[in-house]
């Protein structure tokens, strides 16, 4: 991922063609000639990819679904050649040369077109899964507008919403191999004997709050460290179940005491670029108690921010 300028799940080539969502006649005709991504909610939203050096999504025709879908087709957009793309929730078909994967597994490896399709489909499907009833009337809702709204019998309509969250790579502003970043081990993460994951600090933006204010608040609450010189680095969807991660870098003084909120953060410490580069090169970095450092998964914006901070310092440890 080093050198990437866009977070891994922020890539897409699909024309969403939003004006088609309210045209039932066009949607019905488009479904007959569509390419369809099958997502299996029973297996945490997995989809099929073709096996190979670089995975590619498997899209099928409407007549190739193994059984009746669990959901109404969700219209994702139109790609080159005026080909409509839909997604459905259904058991995955059994096709030779394919394997079932999660977006976490392969999002960073997919080409731009596939990353956009998979991310949008999963985010939309997860939203539908949590909105079977109207929060206003309590009535059951049904999917409408090509999957881009839900409507209750009384007419109350809901549209998909995304929860904004900030994520920040806190660093000391020092160049070179000895520059340091502050990472935390979340108290909610399951234990993994011999390994301990550290990642960027993150949290939801609260009502009435800006993303920048959320960065200041969350870092202060979680590790007790004041930060300054915030720099926005990019955003990406994180459909687990439905967030938009707003990525920042910010500076802090490593001499300031780190005081973790134990309900949020189990451990927090400063790491040098040398240590991060060593871990990315696949070599062990001791974080205490016999545990080795584990960094965020490659499909996350957290690792994208780590690479932004590394700024080329990976090379000395990459071989």
For the residues 297-306, what does the mean pLDDT come to?
Answer: 97
Query: pLDDT at position 314, please?
Result: 42
Give domain status of residue 83, yes or no. yes
pLDDT at 229 over 50: yes
pLDDT attached to residue 75 = 98
pLDDT band at 306; cut points 50, 70, 90: very high
Question: Residues 182-209: pLDDT tens digits?
Answer: 999 999 999 999 999 999 999 999 999 9
Q: Reply yes or no on whether the pLDDT at 319 is more than 50.
A: no
What pLDDT is attached to residue 68?
Answer: 82
Q: Are residues 147 and 175 in the same domain?
A: no
- Domain coverage including residue 298: 163-317
Residue 23 and residue 168 share a domain: no
Q: Rounded to whole angstroms, how far apart are CA atoms 176 and 274? A: 9
More confident residue, 92 or 1: 92
Residue 51 pLDDT: 83
Q: Are residues 249 and 133 in the same domain?
A: no
Do 82 and 210 belong together in one domain? no
**Residues 170 and 114 occupy one common structural domain:** no
Check whether residue 151 and residue 189 sit in a common domain.
Answer: no
Final residue of a structural domain among 110, 142, 158: 158
What is the percentage of the chain residues whose pLDDT exceeds 70? 97
Average pLDDT of the chain is 94
What would the pLDDT profile of 245-285 be if each residue is shown by its tens digit? 999 999 999 999 999 999 999 999 999 999 999 999 999 99
Q: Are residues 64 and 181 in the same domain?
A: no
In a domain, 283, yes or no: yes
280: left (phi over 0), alpha (psi -120 to 50) or beta: alpha
Q: Across residues 99-108, what is the average pLDDT?
A: 95
* pLDDT for the residue 312: 54
What's the number of domains the chain is made of? 2
Q: How deeply is 190 buried, as exposed, middle or buried, from its count of CB atoms within 10 A (0-12, 13-18, 19+)?
A: exposed
CB 243 within 8 A of CB 237: yes
- Band the pLDDT of 67: cuts 50, 70, 90: confident
Identify whether 44 is part of a domain. Answer: yes
Residue 8 neighbours by CB distance under 10 Å: 23
Task: Give yes or no: residues 288 and 151 share one domain.
Answer: no
Query: Quick check: is 191 in a domain?
Result: yes
Q: Specify whether 188 is located in the same domain as 118.
A: no
pLDDT category at 65 given cuts 50, 70, 90 is confident
Regarding whether 217 and 153 lie in a shared domain, the answer is no
223 domain-assigned: yes
Give the closest residue to 314 by CA, choosing from 286, 285, 272: 272
Pick from 136, 158, 180: which residue ends a domain? 158
pLDDT at 4 > cutoff 80: no
Q: Is residue 177 part of a domain?
A: yes
Specify if 5 maps to a domain: no
Judgement on whether residues 177 and 110 belong to the same structural domain of the protein: no
Q: What is the CATH number of the domain that holds 296?
A: 3.90.79.10
Specify whether the CB–CB gap between 113 and 14 falls below 8 A: yes
Same domain membership, residue 152 and residue 216: no
Identify whether 218 is part of a domain: yes
What tokens were used for 133? Answer: 């009833």
Mind listing the pLDDT tens digit for each residue in 128-169? 999 999 999 999 999 999 999 999 999 999 999 999 999 999
Among the candidates 122, 137, 158, a domain finishes at: 158
């Amino acid at each position: 991922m080093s050198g990437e300028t866009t977070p891994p799940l922020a890539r897409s080539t699909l024309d969403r063609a939003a004006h088609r969502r309210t045209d039932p006649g066009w949607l019905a005709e488009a479904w007959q000639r569509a390419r369809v991504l099958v997502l299996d909610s029973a297996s945490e939203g997995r989809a099929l990819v073709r096996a190979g050096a670089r995975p590619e999504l498997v899209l099928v025709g409407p007549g190739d679904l193994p059984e009746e879908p669990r959901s109404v087709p969700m219209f994702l957009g139109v790609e080159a050649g005026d080909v409509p793309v839909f997604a459905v929730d259904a058991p995955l078909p059994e096709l030779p040369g394919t394997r079932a994967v999660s977006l976490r597994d392969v999002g960073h490896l997919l080409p731009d077109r596939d990353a956009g399709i998979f991310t949008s489909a999963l985010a939309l499907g997860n939203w539908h899964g949590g909105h079977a009833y109207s929060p206003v009337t309590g009535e059951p809702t049904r999917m409408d507008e090509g999957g881009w709204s839900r409507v209750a019998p009384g007419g109350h309509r809901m549209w998909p919403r995304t929860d904004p969250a900030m994520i920040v790579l806190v660093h000391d502003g020092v160049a070179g191999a000895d520059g340091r970043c502050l990472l935390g081990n979340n108290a909610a993460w399951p234990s993994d004997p011999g390994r301990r994951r550290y990642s960027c600090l993150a949290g939801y933006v609260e009502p009435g709050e800006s993303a920048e204010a959320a960065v200041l608040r969350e870092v202060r609450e979680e590790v007790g460290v004041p930060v300054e010189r915030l720099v926005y680095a990019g955003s990406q969807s994180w459909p687990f179940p439905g967030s938009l991660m707003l990525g920042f870098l910010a500076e802090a003084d490593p001499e300031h005491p780190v005081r973790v909120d134990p309900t949020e953060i189990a451990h927090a410490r400063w790491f040098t670029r040398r240590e991060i580069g060593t871990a990315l090169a696949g070599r062990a970095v001791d974080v205490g108690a016999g545990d080795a450092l584990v960094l965020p998964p490659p499909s996350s914006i957290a690792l994208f921010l780590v690479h932004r901070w590394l700024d080329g310092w990976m090379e000395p440890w990459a071989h």
